[in-house]
Chains A and B, each alone.
Chain A
């Protein structure tokens, strides 16, 4: 399965929270981290990343501070806050339950119905 998938609606926030939960990242870093974890299978619109980051920060789930990137550039690093961590757990649990339900439905055979 080499083809890239478009991101499902509403999942970008969750993926960002997951990405920064593994350690502080700047915006480009978040993009790379998600692509890396997904083994390049997810297509993320670069432009849509920043509004999502700003929204999460505004809601207080991530916080930011200025630092220096690997190639000596000024960069803004985002990290998960305590409330962001709780939020992520809730979102992840919800997603897993939803995925189970959907998967269950898709697996259903005529006998089971």
Chain B
């Protein structure tokens, strides 16, 4: 007989199990009846015959079991039996199930949801060929690698081509430039986000086109035809996903371009996603241009070269470049791995969250372990009896395994549901994709789910099997004998329960303290005065299309753009209910400019300047071009001197205003008014000092800042601030219309109230406070349940002891004190451990989530206040006392006689 047909028989038997049982009954009965008939024929009375027949046959049940074994189906039968028993047990132990399953499901769900987000945002590889070799290269300072992102800047073509010629670390080095393009379609114009890319761009990233081709060498000739590669999103939205789009033409900046390729979806995982890519051919003049900022260089490291090695080489090359071009303000280069750049600092928040959720999962596991343990003690006797009756260890283990499995599987299924809901919830809570990249690719991660489920399964199996290793293992009579004599649970088990309580205490205290700290620091942030009046202030961004108003670069004049700004200013100010209209390069709390070294006429320049070395941050200031109305629109106070005026135009002497931080830093004991300073390329005389206001972040001290008048030093990057006499949102549409009437091609972008800008700027803190807060509340809830169940169980185990003590005349209050003593001991231990761990976690939080040293120190000063620790500890302490007091009082109320008889 082949193995296959034997297996087939077995399978058939298994599938027809109840049928087989029936047949077996019929067959054995027929045997006994036939035997009985024969005995009657031989002369016995029917009852005697029946008796004899049964005796001679032997045990019918034993025969049946042997038959099942003979067929190899007994194992299956056993498992089914255990399964039925386990399900019945789950249903019967309603309290246990009702607590344990939601606990575990919550742990599984929350952990999976958070890990799904973390994985999609951080761990999934970038959609490029060998993404680990891709780097960004910035012009800037080494400060960047100390964790401060503010100190790097875009590059210039001259530097890019120097790098290309002089470095050996890179396989390719190329760049792109953001350049919004006017897309005209059926007489409708729209400004689309676009990148102009230098040669080798697509070769460097190494992602092939989804349709058609990416840009290649043939597109980089002085006379190459206009071609464009479009994003998948644009292809779907504008061309309905038509495969025949290749070869069609679109109009960008009034010129016709041929579409040669469509990139795959999710190709460019940057927060801002360009719609089109056009090739940019740099002629010899541009390759030597050291004034045209705004390039974003991208490079691919040669195989085997690390970014640190590339950085070392770049430092050497940069020093040579700044020797060769002493007037070019070369500040060096910074190599940043692309994945680090794209994710930015948001991973630190996610890390903190992950730690929080792991703690939550631990609490959930401890809770369940504890419940299983309590149940195991309850069932010790059951197992002792079964062992005494001859059940084998393997058989008992199988049954326990089955029970744990049923339990873990049910919890896992509920957990999957929680994970799905939780992930969706996170995606709505986590703010727009502009800050966390790749949120669009977040899905419930099945690897994470499987891992977490496996973990909980393992935990429940492990703790589910505890009864097997109990002391009654070898001596079942002990457990049976102890009936009526056991005063309390075994020492070992009580110790385990105590460990559970202390660990729950520790974990939840850490979460609680972290939550309180983050919420506290967020609330404090809400109260910070930004230094300007954010009410009734409407802001929007207005990039000027180059095609209509001409090219622009810093330091060069463009009359048409300047006239446009002046015209818009008048236009908006004439709208009724508008009080003043401010223009500025960048927007406080949203977009800043990188700082530049400050030279004061009559003093030595910073010694590092122009020598290829970094000028210390202390010798630098941020710069901002503003119109004369800017400070009025923001309602920033003048401290001394005067504001900009209309008469300070291009023909007048160049002047500047500074903030108080600037005045204190550079003129600590002098009046800054009338002093001549050179920042960047502009030599100006200071005419006024304004009060400090928050420009970078609400929780950072104001940086030294210098302001120039746009009338003298123009900027193409205009943010417009409109101070209104009424609620600013009412005027939004009117302002849009005014601008559209003036020039329908002018894009009005990101229009919002300044209060919203402030709210947005605190999103990271709000998010971390909210999420950690939610996790902490869940953790407290679970820990309270856990502590309560351990304590009430431990008290119920001591019921008999309490009864005896009271029967012997002990004072109820003393007995209560005895019981509470255990709680105090555990709670104090838990508090100490929890506070120590929280101190560590708080340290981690301040040094990872809040990267800027300014912020960290502010949080360290007042954030890790002992008050939070004491309050949180007391809170948990209270829960522990409550959790003991309720069952203890119940135990004390019971009549000692009843308690002693109770079994």
Chain A residues with CB under 8 Å of chain B are 26-28, 31, 45-48, 50-52, 54-55, 58-61, 69, 71, 73-76, 83
Q: Are A60 and B5 in contact (CB under 8 A)?
A: yes
- Contact for A46 among B37, B56, B70, CB less than 8 A: B56
In the assembled complex, the Cα of A50 lies from the Cα of B60 at a distance in Å of 10
In the assembled complex, the Cα of A54 lies from the Cα of B69 at a distance in Å of 9
- Contact for B72 among A47, A58, A75, CB less than 8 A: A58
Please, what's the 1-or-0 string for B650-666, where 1 marks a CB less than 8 Å from any CB in chain A?
00000000000000000
| B63 on the A face (CB < 8 A) | yes
| B556 on the A face (CB < 8 A) | no
Q: Are B58 and A45 in contact (CB under 8 A)?
A: yes
Can you name 19 extra interface pairs (CB under 8 A) apart from A50-B67, A54-B71?
A: A27-B30, A28-B34, A28-B35, A31-B31, A45-B58, A46-B35, A47-B57, A47-B60, A47-B63, A48-B66, A50-B27, A50-B31, A50-B63, A51-B67, A51-B69, A60-B6, A69-B30, A73-B34, A76-B27
Given A47-B59, A60-B1 in contact, is the A73-B30 Cβ separation under 8 Å? yes
20 residue pairs of the A-B complex, CB under 8 angstroms, read A26-B27, A27-B27, A27-B31, A28-B34, A31-B31, A45-B58, A47-B57, A50-B24, A50-B27, A51-B63, A51-B69, A52-B70, A54-B70, A58-B71, A60-B5, A60-B6, A71-B34, A71-B37, A73-B34, A76-B27
Nearest Cβ in chain B — how far from A37, in angstroms? Answer: 17
B67 / chain A contacts, CB cutoff of 8 Å: 50-51, 54
Please, what's the 1-or-0 string for B69-85, where 1 marks a CB less than 8 Å from any CB in chain A?
11110000000000000
Q: Are A75 and B71 in contact (CB under 8 A)?
A: no
Please, what's the 1-or-0 string for B22-44, where 1 marks a CB less than 8 Å from any CB in chain A?
01101110110111010000000
In the assembled complex, the Cα of A40 lies from the Cα of B19 at a distance in Å of 35
- Contact for B1 among A31, A46, A83, CB less than 8 A: A83
Nearest Cβ in chain A — how far from B583, in angstroms? Answer: 92
Nearest Cβ in chain B — how far from A2, in angstroms? Answer: 18
Q: Which chain A residue lies CB-closest to B20? A: A54
| B669 on the A face (CB < 8 A) | no
| B62 on the A face (CB < 8 A) | yes
Q: Which chain A residue lies CB-closest to B64? A: A50
B63 / chain A contacts, CB cutoff of 8 Å: 47-48, 50-51
| B9 on the A face (CB < 8 A) | yes
B28 / chain A contacts, CB cutoff of 8 Å: 50
A46 / chain B contacts, CB cutoff of 8 Å: 31, 35, 56-58
In the assembled complex, the Cα of A67 lies from the Cα of B43 at a distance in Å of 28
B31 / chain A contacts, CB cutoff of 8 Å: 26-28, 31, 46, 50
User: Which B106-124 residues have C-beta < 8 A from chain A?
Assistant: none
B69 / chain A contacts, CB cutoff of 8 Å: 51
B10 / chain A contacts, CB cutoff of 8 Å: 58
Q: Are B56 and A69 in contact (CB under 8 A)?
A: no
Q: Which chain A residue lies CB-closest to B34? A: A28
B26 / chain A contacts, CB cutoff of 8 Å: 74, 76
List the 10 closest pairs (A to B, CB-CB), nearest first: A47-B58, A51-B66, A60-B1, A55-B70, A54-B70, A28-B34, A47-B63, A54-B67, A51-B70, A46-B57
In the assembled complex, the Cα of A58 lies from the Cα of B69 at a distance in Å of 11
B57 / chain A contacts, CB cutoff of 8 Å: 46-47
In the assembled complex, the Cα of A4 lies from the Cα of B661 at a distance in Å of 117
B72 / chain A contacts, CB cutoff of 8 Å: 58
In the assembled complex, the Cα of A55 lies from the Cα of B72 at a distance in Å of 9
In the assembled complex, the Cα of A26 lies from the Cα of B23 at a distance in Å of 13
Q: Which chain A residue lies CB-closest to B68? A: A54
Nearest Cβ in chain A — how far from B4, in angstroms? Answer: 11
Most chain B CB atoms below 10 A, which of A27, A50, A55, A69:
A50
Most chain B CB atoms below 10 A, which of A55, A58, A75:
A58
In the assembled complex, the Cα of A55 lies from the Cα of B9 at a distance in Å of 12
Q: Are B9 and A60 in contact (CB under 8 A)?
A: yes
A75 / chain B contacts, CB cutoff of 8 Å: 27, 30
Most chain B CB atoms below 10 A, which of A27, A51, A69:
A51
Nearest Cβ in chain B — how far from A6, in angstroms? Answer: 15
- Contact for B62 among A27, A47, A58, A59, CB less than 8 A: A47
Nearest Cβ in chain A — how far from B10, in angstroms? Answer: 8
In the assembled complex, the Cα of A26 lies from the Cα of B31 at a distance in Å of 9
In the assembled complex, the Cα of A69 lies from the Cα of B69 at a distance in Å of 27
Nearest Cβ in chain A — how far from B218, in angstroms? Answer: 75
Q: Which chain B residue lies CB-closest to A55? A: B70
Q: Are B1 and A59 in contact (CB under 8 A)?
A: yes
In the assembled complex, the Cα of A51 lies from the Cα of B59 at a distance in Å of 13
In the assembled complex, the Cα of A51 lies from the Cα of B31 at a distance in Å of 14
A69 / chain B contacts, CB cutoff of 8 Å: 30, 34
Q: Are B23 and A76 in contact (CB under 8 A)?
A: yes
Nearest Cβ in chain B — how far from A72, in angstroms? Answer: 11
In the assembled complex, the Cα of A86 lies from the Cα of B696 at a distance in Å of 94
Nearest Cβ in chain A — how far from B371, in angstroms? Answer: 42
Nearest Cβ in chain A — how far from B725, in angstroms? Answer: 95
B62 / chain A contacts, CB cutoff of 8 Å: 47
In the assembled complex, the Cα of A74 lies from the Cα of B84 at a distance in Å of 32
Nearest Cβ in chain B — how far from A48, in angstroms? Answer: 8
In the assembled complex, the Cα of A28 lies from the Cα of B122 at a distance in Å of 74
A31 / chain B contacts, CB cutoff of 8 Å: 31
B37 / chain A contacts, CB cutoff of 8 Å: 71
In the assembled complex, the Cα of A14 lies from the Cα of B100 at a distance in Å of 56
- Contact for B9 among A28, A51, A58, CB less than 8 A: A58
In the assembled complex, the Cα of A78 lies from the Cα of B110 at a distance in Å of 60
In the assembled complex, the Cα of A75 lies from the Cα of B24 at a distance in Å of 11
In the assembled complex, the Cα of A111 lies from the Cα of B5 at a distance in Å of 54
Nearest Cβ in chain A — how far from B880, in angstroms? Answer: 59
In the assembled complex, the Cα of A59 lies from the Cα of B63 at a distance in Å of 19
Q: Which chain B residue lies CB-closest to A66? A: B23
A47 / chain B contacts, CB cutoff of 8 Å: 57-60, 62-63, 66
In the assembled complex, the Cα of A32 lies from the Cα of B6 at a distance in Å of 30
Nearest Cβ in chain B — how far from A56, in angstroms? Answer: 9
Q: Are A74 and B30 in contact (CB under 8 A)?
A: yes
Most chain A CB atoms below 10 A, which of B9, B30, B59:
B30
In the assembled complex, the Cα of A59 lies from the Cα of B27 at a distance in Å of 19
Q: Which chain A residue lies CB-closest to B28? A: A50
In the assembled complex, the Cα of A30 lies from the Cα of B694 at a distance in Å of 101
Q: Which chain A residue lies CB-closest to B73? A: A58
In the assembled complex, the Cα of A55 lies from the Cα of B1 at a distance in Å of 13
Most chain B CB atoms below 10 A, which of A26, A51, A54, A73:
A54
In the assembled complex, the Cα of A69 lies from the Cα of B27 at a distance in Å of 11
In the assembled complex, the Cα of A76 lies from the Cα of B28 at a distance in Å of 10
In the assembled complex, the Cα of A71 lies from the Cα of B10 at a distance in Å of 32
In the assembled complex, the Cα of A96 lies from the Cα of B229 at a distance in Å of 91
